[in-house]
Every structure is written in structure tokens, then in C-alpha cells.
Amino acid sequence: MALAIKVNEETFTPRQQAVLTAALDLLVENGDGLTMTAVARRASCSKETLYKWFGDRDGLLTATVQWQAAKVRMPFVDRSHLSVKALRASLEQFARDLLTTIIGEVSITLNRTAITHAAQEKDDLGNIVLENGPMAIRRRLKPILEAARDARLLRFPSSEEAYRTFFGLVVRDVQIRLLLGDKALTQSNVEANIEADVKAAADQFLALYGAKASS
């Protein structure tokens, strides 16, 4: 059962989800200094139960990350009627979702935890976060890009390259700086500029890959 990426709703009972919530809260508060005792106290459950349900500390951590990461739901964007306007709206929506997610405390915590774990060869968490973060975006964005290309709205050699450029234009240095705890980059600070950044990213992406531009 190496990689259980998918987690459906009934994977955890409500009580278990309460425990996971407690774990996540502690994770956000205290970073990875998460102790089983602390989770038990916060969730008003016994350590024995914790071990019964999640096996060990890693299991609890994995469950928490899986459960939370799976919650990142990106709203649908219609790939049906493609116009330049609709495409731009879709791109902006993606950019907005991506940015909003990335700057959230939960996302930062999850990424930090997964990265810390990846440093110990235990890359389960890394893969989970990867799969629910960048890869999820990619899976969702690529078909739209390809549809737009088929409709002659975009031009690019490979959708993979186009996706990665989009990612770069949107995220820039925001994520790494937040992960490193850059004090000059407060969350509210970024939040205020989201709309402008979103528009700029869409503009730039269309400037690079729009059919008009590369005629």
C-alpha cells in the first residue's frame, strides 16, 4: 500500500477527522514539532487510540496530509465554448486558485512538513503534496491548453512546457519565500496584490503563447 494518493470521503470517520483537524492545527501552530501526546490532548483522545487508528507517528502525519491535501478543490472551468475571453477567464481562475492556495497557512504548513519529510528519504508526503498540488493543477490545466491550441487560440510546442511556464509566471518567487519564512512577504501583503498578479500572469502567458502574438 505504498502510495495511497486518493482519499475518498468515507476514509475517515467524523471522530477521526476531528483528530486529524487537531493534528493539522498543531502542525500549523508548532511546525513539525508535533508530538503524539499533544495531538491526544488537543483531540481529547488517548494515545492508544491514535496508534490503533494510524499505526505510528508517520501514519498520523500521512493521514493528516492526505486528508487535508485532498480537500484542495479547484472550481471547475468550462472547456466547452472557447473564446479568447473565456480562455483568459479560465487562466485567471487557475492563477487565482493557485495563488490563493499557495499563500494559505495550511498549504505552507503542508509543504513544509512534506519537504522536511523528503529530507529523510521518506518521500511519501512529498508525493502526496506534489500529487494534490502542482500535478493536480497540471492535470486540470493541460486539457484546457490543448483545447485552446486546437481552437487556434494558443500556440505552443508542448503543453508540458506551456503549463510550466504558466506555473512560473503565476508563482514566481512567492512560494519559496513564504516557505523560507520571508518576513518581508506577509500573507496579507500578497493577498492584496492577488488580482493584479493574476491579471499580469494571464497577460504575460497570452503574450507568449497567444496565437496572435506568435503569428
Partner DNA sequence: ACAAGGGCGTACCGTACGGTACGGTTCGTG
Partner DNA sequence: CACGAACCGTACCGTACGGTACGCCCTTGT
Piece of 43-51, 82-90, 111-119, 173-181 that binds DNA (CB under 7 A) = 43-51
Applying CB under 7 A, among 20, 40, 148, 201 the residue interacting with DNA is 40
Q: How far is CA 182 from CA 172, 174, 185, 186, 190, in A?
A: 14, 9, 6, 8, 12
* Residue 74 binds to its own copies (criterion: CB under 8 A): no
In whole angstroms, the minimum distance from the beta carbon of 41 to DNA comes to: 7
* Residue 192 binds to its own copies (criterion: CB under 8 A): no
Residue 143: all three cell numbers together: 486539457
In the chain, the amino acid numbered 139 is R
Task: Tell which residue, 100, 104, 102, 129, has the closest CA to residue 114.
Answer: 129
Applying CB under 8 A, among 58, 150, 182, 191 the residue interacting with its own copies is 182
Applying CB under 7 A, among 8, 9, 10, 44 the residue interacting with DNA is 44
Footprint of DNA on residues 5-34 (CB under 7 A)?
15, 33-34
* Residue 62 binds to its own copies (criterion: CB under 8 A): no
> 59 CB contacts (<8 Å, ≥6 apart)?
none
* Residue 5 binds to its own copies (criterion: CB under 8 A): no
Instruction: Render the burial of 61-78: b for 16+ CB within 10 Å, e for the rest.
Output: bbbbbbbbbbebebeebe
> From CA 61, how far away is CA 18, in angstroms rounded?
14
In whole angstroms, the minimum distance from the beta carbon of 58 to its own copies comes to: 14
> From CA 20, how far away is CA 61, in angstroms rounded?
9
Report the length, in residues, of the chain.
215
Piece of 14-22, 62-70, 89-97, 118-126 that binds its own copies (CB under 8 A) = 118-126
* Residue 45 binds to DNA (criterion: CB under 7 A): yes
CB atoms inside a 10 Å sphere around CB 33:
9
Q: Residue 36 binds which one of its own copies, DNA, none, with CB within 5 to 8 A depending on kind? A: DNA
Piece of 6-14, 28-36, 72-80, 139-147 that binds its own copies (CB under 8 A) = 28-36
- Render 53-109 in DSSP notation, one character per residue: HHSSHHHHHHHHHHHHHTT--PPP---SS--HHHHHHHHHHHHHHHHHHHHSHHHHH
Which residues contact its own copies (rule: CB under 8 A)?
Answer: 30-33, 109, 111-116, 118-121, 123, 126-127, 129-130, 134, 161, 164-165, 167-173, 175-177, 179-183, 200, 204, 207-208, 213
Which residues contact DNA (rule: CB under 7 A)?
Answer: 15, 33-37, 40, 44-49, 51-52, 56-58
